[in-house]
Amino acid sequence: MRVRVAREVAGRGGKVVSVVLGLPLGPAQLETLGRELKKLCGAGGAVREGRIEVQGEHRDRLVEALRQRGYDAKRSGG
């Protein structure tokens, strides 16, 4: 399954959030990976509903980090 890294603004008061979708991981592994990715980007965020949210525009950095971990990651959206 392809992992997508999208950008969302809707419902966040105009603030940008980078969202990682489609990771084939359980909740505990998602939390761990989410913590690593947020630390890498130097940003806050959350793990919700099977997706990792990182505050700010970090799509390129996230795609690169996920590819280094062996995921077929791709940017999604505009």
End-to-end CA distance of the chain: 21
pLDDT at 13: 84
Number of domains in the chain: 1
pTM greater than 0.75: yes
Supply the range of the domain harboring residue 49. 3-75
Contact 32, 47 (CB under 8 A): no
Q: What is the CATH number of the domain that holds 63?
A: 3.30.780.10
pLDDT at 78: 66
Q: How far is CA 52 from the centre of its chain?
A: 4
Look at the block and give the residue holding tokens 């489609």: 22
**pLDDT, tens digit (0-9, with 9 covering 90-100), for 18-69:** 999 999 999 999 999 999 999 999 999 999 999 999 999 999 999 999 999 9
Q: How far is CA 15 from the centre of its chain?
A: 15
pLDDT at 66: 97
CA angle, corner 10, sides to 8 and 13, nearest 5?
110
pLDDT at 10: 83
